[in-house]
Amino acid sequence: MIGAYILYLLSLVLAILLLLSSHHLTTYKRWFDPAFLLGLALFTWGIGHLFIHHDNFYFQIIAQPFTFFFYVFLLLMFQTFPLLPNLYFERWKKFLDLFVLLLLYGTVELTTWYYPSLEEQLRILLQVHTGIFVLGIGCVVLFSNRHGKLWERANWLIIGTLMFLGVQTIYMDKYVTVACVFTLVSFAMIIAGYKSAHTEKIQVAVMDEYFYYHERMQFLLREENMNRLLIGISLICLVVMKNLPPVYLIGMALVATTLCVRLFISRRLNQVEIKEIFEISRNLEKRFEVHVKEITAKNEELTWFLDIKQRYETLLVETNAQSMKEVNYENVHQFIGEIVRKWFRTMNALRYLRIALQTAEGEVTYEISYGQRQPDKDLFKIEIETSIAHTTGVVIAEAISESEQIEEEELQQSFLRLLVIHVRGLLDRCLQNQQSLELRLVEQEMEFAAKIQFSLIPKERLIMDDVQAKVVYLPAAYVGGDYVDFIQLDSRYSCFLIADISGHGIPASLLTTGLRNSFRAVLQTCRMPNEILGRLNYLMYDDLSKTRSFITMIVAVYDAQQKTLWTSRAGHPEPYYFSVSKTQILPCSNGMGLGFNKFAVYPQDEWKVEEDFTLLMYTDGLINLGEDDRVMYSGRWQSTLADTYADAERDGHDRIEAIEQKIWTVARKMQQDDDISILILDFKAAADRKRD
């Protein structure tokens, strides 16, 4: 008895697990979820049996509705089990099946009311009748759900449920241990089948209408045979159990009648579907005949295309052969003549073919024709625009065909279009080859200009007692508009300059050369940076105005005797200042760029060299490096280079080299759209401090 109670509790636990698995579904959809319905069935079975074994009479009375709902939920579980899309129980069948269950229970309850002495016998018969009825529905679902072998894990949920229901159907009070073992096995199969159904999704093949009806008829025949079996069992019960009360016999007769009505309606509906299958078969024969005719027509068309292929295959071979040859404006007419002659001889249906090259003004620069033009024949003409010797023109093709078949004439027009396209391709290749030659010449000139400009930028480090200077140059193209220079004027003065000319390419590069010459000339007479900027602006104003250009610049002059640095700025970004005590953007006074006002005056700042520091002057390409949110704006560079300066100072490394390597490392990872020029100046407060 203890084993039975443990079994009831296990059923409740399993029921709760199955019910919780459907918590994500809406209330309406849960009633179509087999796991939810099976959980309700196991829950009502466990509660019902616990109440039956209770000593209280009222609990025993309440147990009967739980047993009824156990079979109702099992029936609904089988009827809503997901099968192939075309296999399902119609709604009227579900209502009739529920009505049969209600008749069985109503018959037993009514008979027990009048004949209490027969209660135990009637309960056993009810258990057998309802069990067989629900087992029949379950077997139909099982044999309709076969995906391969019957005992695959996809079917274990149904098989476990049927095994559990079979144990309840067979009255096994004398073999309680055997019943418990089979019930536990069924629980294990239910759990395994449920897990397999959630982890393995069954792939349902797309069915045509014939296979659809075949599977549907198999399902209906299984259901019909199940219905006959149930009717037979009901009639046997009526014949064998004549000693039972009339009330029970009348109820069983109603059950048998309901099953007969179900069978009758099912047969009528099956006959309708059989007629549909016969109609589909007749339509299949008609469609097969049409399909055979279509295949025959396609075979004839394919034969014609194969003949066309053999005739025009040589044309494609000749075209491919010409594409491998070197073509230019000197031999292109020869190539056109060869390909036109080959096409005319191969296209047997053509009686006249003319190819002409015509400019946009209507002048014919080249033409070739074969055959004789007949005025009484239709002439089809094709024109395609192209480039003829650096000017716009058209390739014209005219042809006359003697073929009377529309399909062949259309095909000849298509191949004639291919001929025109090939002629245009020859002309395009001439133009491309000419442009490639010109482009190579331009690239050579640009490379030579880049070498000249690069030679103007100081490559070696300037080393003096108090200051060292190094240039870092990262061009965005062959030539650019950045200019960096430094000159030691004498033992006292040194001048440093960095400039950015508006624009890119050769115009900016030419202005760079002019700026260098002017800068070197101005240094002969000027020493202070504001004088240098004013003089450079005056000398270059006319050239900048004509080209609508301008120059931003910063000039620094260092006085080694007074340990003083003078700076003057013309619209250029302020330099970075790095030292042990502070890191900042040096607040230099600003003036307008060169080329805006011929008589502009530029302010000048004076800075005492009282500590070791590094000054970094740069063009705006440095702070425009990168794209989107990765742009290295001024604040990011200041933070990055400040850390680099601090690390080099702490480790005793060369500060200029450390900053230069950091800039190169960052620049290689970023998108560069503008030239980058950087002048790194490293100052020492004491003249006797030497660097390694």
Tell me the β-bridge partners of 557: 495, 566
CATH for 460-683, among 3.40.50.620, 3.40.50.2000, 3.60.40.10, 2.102.10.10? 3.60.40.10
Compute the half-sphere exposure of residue 240: CA atoms within 13 Å on the CB side of its CA: 7
Average pLDDT over residues 311-336: 76
| DSSP E strand boundaries for 532-674 | 551-559, 564-570, 576-579, 583-585, 590-591, 605-608, 613-618
- Least Cα distance to 373 among 394, 343, 352 occurs for 352
Q: Which two tokens stand for residue 107?
A: 């018959």
The rounded distance, in Å, linking the Cα atoms of 426 and 331 is 10
Structure-token pair, residue 630: 């990765």
Q: What is the pLDDT of residue 537?
A: 93
Mean pLDDT score, 175-204: 72
Distance CA 476, CA 481 (A): 10
Own/partner pairs for 595-600, CB < 8 Å, 24+ apart? 595/537, 595/540, 595/541, 595/544, 595/545, 595/549, 595/550, 595/551, 596/550, 597/537, 598/537, 598/538, 598/541, 599/538, 600/534, 600/537, 600/570
For residue 690, the model assigns a pLDDT of 44
Please name which of 224, 45, 187 lies closest in space to residue 130, comparing C-alpha atoms: 45
Taking only the tens place, the pLDDT of each residue in 444-483 is 766 766 677 677 788 889 999 889 999 998 877 666 778 8
Mean pLDDT of all residues in 213-228 = 78
Mean pLDDT over 529-533 rounds to 94
Does 570 or 306 have the greater pLDDT score? 570
Q: Where in the chain is the domain with CATH 3.60.40.10?
A: 460-683
Q: Which CATH class is domain 323-434?
A: alpha beta
Give the Cα separation of 290 and 272 in Å (integer).
Answer: 27
Residue 381 has a pLDDT of: 78
Q: Out of 362-376, 382-396, 465-479, which region has the weakest mean confidence (pLDDT)?
A: 382-396
Confidence of residue 30 (pLDDT cuts 50, 70, 90): low
Answer yes or no: is pLDDT of 332 > 90: no
Token pair 């089809």 in the structure block, residue: 380
Instruction: In the chain, list all ranges with CATH 3.30.450.40.
Output: 323-434
| Angstrom distances, CA of residue 631 to CA of 184, 473, 479, 585, 675 | 69, 19, 23, 18, 15
**What is the distance, to the nearest Å, from the Cα of residue 41 to the centroid of all Cα atoms in its chain?**
46
Question: Three-state DSSP class for 390?
Answer: coil
Q: And the tokens for 477? A: 């193209």
Least confident of 120-124, 308-312, 623-627, 636-640: 308-312
| Burial tier of 275 (Cβ tally within 10 Å: 0-12, 13-18, 19+) | exposed
The per-residue pLDDT for 389 is 59
What's the rounded Cα separation, in Å, for the pair 202 and 197?
8
Among the listed residues 38, 16, 15, 19, the one whose alpha carbon sits nearest the alpha carbon of residue 27: 19
Q: Which of 442-446, 510-514, 539-543 has the lowest mean pLDDT?
A: 442-446
427 backbone dihedrals φ, ψ, rounded to 5°: -65, -40
Helix (H) or strand (E) holding 596: none
Cα distance between residue 345 and residue 338, in whole Å: 11
Kindly report whether the global pTM for this prediction surpasses the value 0.75. no
In this structure, of 203-207, 467-471, 602-606, the range with the lowest mean pLDDT score is: 203-207
Token code pair at residue 157 = 């949920």
Residue of 46, 244, 80 lying closest to 158 (CA atoms): 80
201 vs 609, more confident: 609
What pLDDT, on a 0 to 100 scale, did the predictor assign at position 13?
85
For residue 300, pLDDT over 50 is answered with yes
Residue 691 has pLDDT above 50, yes or no: no
Rounded mean pLDDT, 155-180: 76
Q: Could you tell me what percent of the chain has a pLDDT over 90?
A: 18
Q: For residue 166, with 0-12 CB atoms within 10 Å meaning exposed, 13-18 middle and 19 or more buried, which class applies?
A: middle
What is the mean pLDDT of the segment spanning 37-47?
A: 85
Q: Rounded CA gap, 100 and 105, in Å? A: 9
pLDDT of residue 605: 94
Determine the average pLDDT of the residues in 416-434: 80
Cα-Cα-Cα-Cα torsion 238, 242, 245, 246, nearest 10 degrees, comes to: 60
Looking at residue 376, its pLDDT comes to: 66
Closest residue by Cα to residue 386 from 419, 335, 423: 423
Q: pLDDT of 122-137, one tens digit each? A: 888 888 888 888 888 8
CB hemisphere CA count around 122 (13 angstroms): 25
* The pLDDT of residue 205: 47
Higher pLDDT, 223 or 149: 223
Residue 692: pLDDT band by 50, 70, 90 thresholds? very low
Distance CA 627, CA 51 (A): 76
pLDDT tens sequence across 266-288: 888 888 877 877 787 788 788 88
Q: What is the mean pLDDT of the chain?
A: 81
Report pLDDT digits (tens) over 623-632: 888 776 667 7
What is the C-alpha to C-alpha distance for residues 263 and 258, in angstroms, rounded to an integer?
9
93-124 pLDDT, tens digit each: 888 888 888 988 888 888 888 888 887 788 88
Of the spans 139-143, 364-368, 490-494, which averages the highest pLDDT?
490-494
Rounded Cα distance between 445 and 293, Å, is: 70
- The one-letter amino acid code at 162 reads L
The sign one gets for the Cα dihedral 523, 526, 527, 532 is negative
* For the chain, the helix, strand and coil percentages under 3-state DSSP, each to the nearest 5: 60, 15, 25
- What is the pLDDT at residue 208? 58
